[in-house]
């Protein structure tokens, strides 16, 4: 694994999507994304999610990377620059691995935005960071996220019973992993 203290958060692109670090002008779009009830259903975000919440999250992104090895990005349309979603990876230095998270605007779903953003992030994690494992957890009822995870080549590992608490409800998560040598669909 590379020395993360010298790695700046990149701008990644596949020609259709751009995955880039947060910028101050993203605050209104991040607030709208995170306040979407279809996202709030699965995430432990404040609800309602305000522009003040988004300003704190966006403003704290660089510190989270430097101090907590949590890389946070927005996923944008490469042509218009419109914010379509967000993703990130929390790196465990000790384990040389990372856990990916992602969310996509309702209007941008079923267009390959989530899977495209995750694939760009996976490549960066394996090639630039030198990680030896990635994982993703999702609520067992979140069928759309589970389809995205599987479409990116992550392999099912198991059920984490009563793993999380979302909106006061204890939920089961499914956990998936991807190793650098695993086949990756869509390549």
65-77 tens-digit pLDDT: 999 999 999 999 9
User: For 35-57, what is the HEC assignment?
Assistant: HCHHHHCCCCCCCCCCHHHHHHH
Comparing CA positions, the residue from 149, 9, 19, 15 lying closest to residue 83 is: 19
Mean pLDDT across 55-64:
93
CA angle (120, 59, 163) in 5-degree steps: 60
The tokens 């670090």 sit on which residue?
Answer: 21
Q: What is the pTM of this model?
A: 0.92
Terminal Cα-to-Cα distance of the chain (whole angstroms): 24
Residue 70, helix vs strand vs coil? strand
Could you report the per-residue pLDDT of 132-175, keeping only the tens digit for each? 999 999 999 999 999 999 999 999 999 999 998 877 889 899 99
Residue 187 has a pLDDT of 55
Of 133, 138, 51, the residue nearest 103 (C-alpha): 138
Confidence category of residue 79, pLDDT binned at 50, 70, 90: very high
Look up tokens 């030198």; give the residue.
130
| Per-residue pLDDT reduced to its tens digit, 26-49 | 999 999 999 888 887 677 788 888
Angle (CA) 63-68-71 rounded to 5° is 70
pLDDT of residue 186: 65
Token code pair at residue 117: 């953003």
Domains in the chain (CATH in brackets) are 4-178 (3.40.630.30)
């Amino acid at each position: 694994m590379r020395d993360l203290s010298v790695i700046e958060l990149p701008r990644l692109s596949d020609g259709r999507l751009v995955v880039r670090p947060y910028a101050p002008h993203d605050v209104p779009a991040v607030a709208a994304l995170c306040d979407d009830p279809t996202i709030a259903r699965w995430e432990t975000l404040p609800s309602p999610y305000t522009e003040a919440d988004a300003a704190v999250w966006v403003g704290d992104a660089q510190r989270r990377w430097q101090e907590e090895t949590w890389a946070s990005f927005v996923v944008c349309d490469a042509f218009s620059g419109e914010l379509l979603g967000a993703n990130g990876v929390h790196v465990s230095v000790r384990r040389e691995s990372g856990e990916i998270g992602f969310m996509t605007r309702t209007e941008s779903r079923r267009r390959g935005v989530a899977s495209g953003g995750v694939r760009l992030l996976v490549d960066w994690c394996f090639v630039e960071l030198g990680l030896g494992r990635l994982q993703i957890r999702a609520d067992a009822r979140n069928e759309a996220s589970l389809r995205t995870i599987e479409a990116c080549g992550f392999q099912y590992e198991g059920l984490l019973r009563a793993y999380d608490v979302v909106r006061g409800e204890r939920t089961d998560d499914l956990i998936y992993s991807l190793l650098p040598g695993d086949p990756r669909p869509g390549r």
